[in-house]
Amino acid sequence: MSGQLMPCSPQEIGSLFLFEKLAPEQLGRLCGAGRIELFPPGPVYTEGEPATCFYVMLEGTVVLSRRVGADDVEVTRTSQRGVYAGAMQAYLGDRVRQVYNNSMRVTEPTRFFVLPAETFAEIMSEWFPMAVHLLEGLFYGSKNAQATVGQRERLLALGSLSAGLTHELNNPAAAAVRATASLRERVAKMRHKLAMIAESPFSHEALANLIEIQERTAERVSKAPSLSPLEVSDREDALADWLDDHGVEGGWRIAPVFVQAGLDTDWLEQVAAAVGEEILPGAVGWLNYTVETELLMNEIEDSTTRITHLVDAAKQYSQLDRAPYRVVDVHELLDSTLLMLSAKIGPRIDVVKEYDRTLPPVPAYPAELNQVWTNLVDNAVSAIDSAGGDGTLTVRTTSDHEWLVVEFRDTGPGVPPDIKDRIFDPFFTTKPVGEGTGLGLDISWRIVVNKHHGALRVESVPGDTRFQVFLPLTAETPDEESGPTPEEAV
């Protein structure tokens, strides 16, 4: 948008704090290269357009805003004379993309001194070479610092997750090792028992019946019902009494194994009828080894399956061997993050998943979104821990028009109203010294807002804090993360 051209006075622009140290001939050159424009209320330039001009306000009111999804979010509103915006980085030339990094509008008739971007860059290089050098260092140093800080935060999270994953993997691995050792012992006893049976005067028919019963017993193990503690106790007593009554020694030791396998006295009656009383004790011992072997193999299978799930979750979380930007199911990302953080969440916090499985996949950077989930879950767990450690974390997904919404709700003490507006500031933290960097929410905000063109909001009262991540359901092209620019400090 262009305004009404007006005469340029060297004396007037020389009164601006940006130009107050310039010589009269320099002010004259500025007036010759630039112009004074009066803008009516409305837009001056729009975010994303080529940055062609540098603006210094002489009088009026300006509002700077940044685009968040489909909305323009106000960043700064000021009437201070001499504030500036526009082609702030023209001195960097083609090394960076020269576009307006925000939108500017005026709320009343406002006069600007307007300098073309090329002229601004030339004057900066000619009149302020040392300043340009310092500004270049500041610009690239800020970019590098942001990347380093973000990488450090990711490494800290990865270190914490690695420790939790090691603990989670250790339990099923140790269980598998124990079960394997016990299985080797049971198989050795089965070989010994088989040798004893082979030497006994069992008929061919009795041995065939015993083998058939063994197969049917193995099938029962895989279909064992889930019993209450009272039902388990009653069934163990009944089985122990039946075994004692039928001359089987150590019935109290065998009964718990049979109950775990889903066997009962009716089953033992069938066994007794099939093999006869004279070989019943040997048959029961043989079946006991069979059951124990099946149970141990089930334990090994469960443990190794658990390890596989954990490894798959780790791959899903880290997004190894996957494209950095792709269409993803957020529920898969959420599940992998919750599994990776299960050790940190602990048994005292109930995790409730309220997923809307009808939601479509969304275009996103999945590894970065997993970092957002990690930061928000970590904050929720810390909040609940600060209130005593018992509570509920609810993870909910839903849609809101053109947005997919992921909500993390905790029952912690809430965010105090006096700091609610500061929680997304870098290095701001309420955690004790050494326990928080104050960068988790800042990085999460950058990932959601800058990189995904979404929004990150918080609603909080004591006992009910909700962080809501809004992601666009569609996106045209992937966008690289953009850090804060000097214009936001106008």
Q: What is the pLDDT along the chain (490 residues), one digit of tens a residue?
A: 667 888 888 888 888 888 887 888 888 888 888 889 999 999 999 888 888 888 989 999 988 887 765 567 777 788 888 888 887 776 565 666 678 877 889 999 999 999 888 888 777 767 654 454 445 444 445 555 455 555 555 555 555 556 556 656 666 777 777 778 777 877 777 677 666 666 666 666 766 777 777 777 777 777 777 778 888 888 889 988 888 888 888 888 888 888 888 888 888 888 787 777 777 787 788 788 888 888 878 778 777 777 776 676 666 665 555 567 889 999 988 988 888 788 788 888 999 999 999 999 999 988 888 888 988 998 899 889 887 878 999 999 999 989 999 999 999 988 877 776 667 665 545 554 444 444 568 778 888 988 888 999 989 888 999 999 999 998 755 444 443 332 333 3
Give a yes or no: residue 104 inside a domain: yes
302 with 426, same domain? no
69 with 207, same domain? no
333 with 288, same domain? no
Give a yes or no: residue 314 inside a domain: no
Backbone angles phi, psi at 54, to 5 degrees: -110, 125
Both tokens of 242, joined, read 């039946």
117 with 246, same domain? no
SS3 111: strand
226 with 363, same domain? no
User: Which CATH number characterizes residue 44's domain?
Assistant: 2.60.120.10
- Cβ atoms of 419 and 377 within 8 Å: the answer is no
369 with 471, same domain? yes
181 with 270, same domain? yes
Q: Please tell me the distance from the alpha carbon of residue 478 to that of residue 74, in angstroms, as a whole number.
A: 24
For residue 256, the one-letter residue type is: P
Any idea what DSSP says for residue 193? H
Taking Cα atoms as reference points, which of 353, 372, 343 lies closest to residue 444?
A: 372
Neighbour count for residue 290 (Cβ, 10 Å): 20
105 with 185, same domain? no
Give a yes or no: residue 250 inside a domain: yes
303 with 206, same domain? yes
How do strand 455-461 and strand 391-400 relate by DSSP bridges? Answer: unpaired
Neighbour count for residue 258 (Cβ, 10 Å): 27
- Cβ atoms of 456 and 469 within 8 Å: the answer is yes
Give a yes or no: residue 133 inside a domain: no
Range of the domain at 399: 325-337+346-489
229 with 123, same domain? no
Give a yes or no: residue 377 inside a domain: yes
Element (H, E) at 235: helix 229-245
Give a yes or no: residue 409 inside a domain: yes
Confidence (pLDDT) at 160: 56
pTM > 0.75: no
Give a yes or no: residue 481 inside a domain: yes
- The predicted-structure confidence for 247-275, as pLDDT tens digits, reads as follows 888 888 888 888 888 888 888 888 787 77
User: Which CATH number characterizes residue 352's domain?
Assistant: 3.30.565.10
Both tokens of 74, joined, read 């106000």
Give a yes or no: residue 145 inside a domain: no
Domain count, the chain: 3
377 with 438, same domain? yes
Q: Please tell me the distance from the alpha carbon of residue 114 to that of residue 13, in angstroms, as a whole number.
A: 11
Per the DSSP assignment, residues forming a β-bridge with 185 are none
78 with 103, same domain? yes
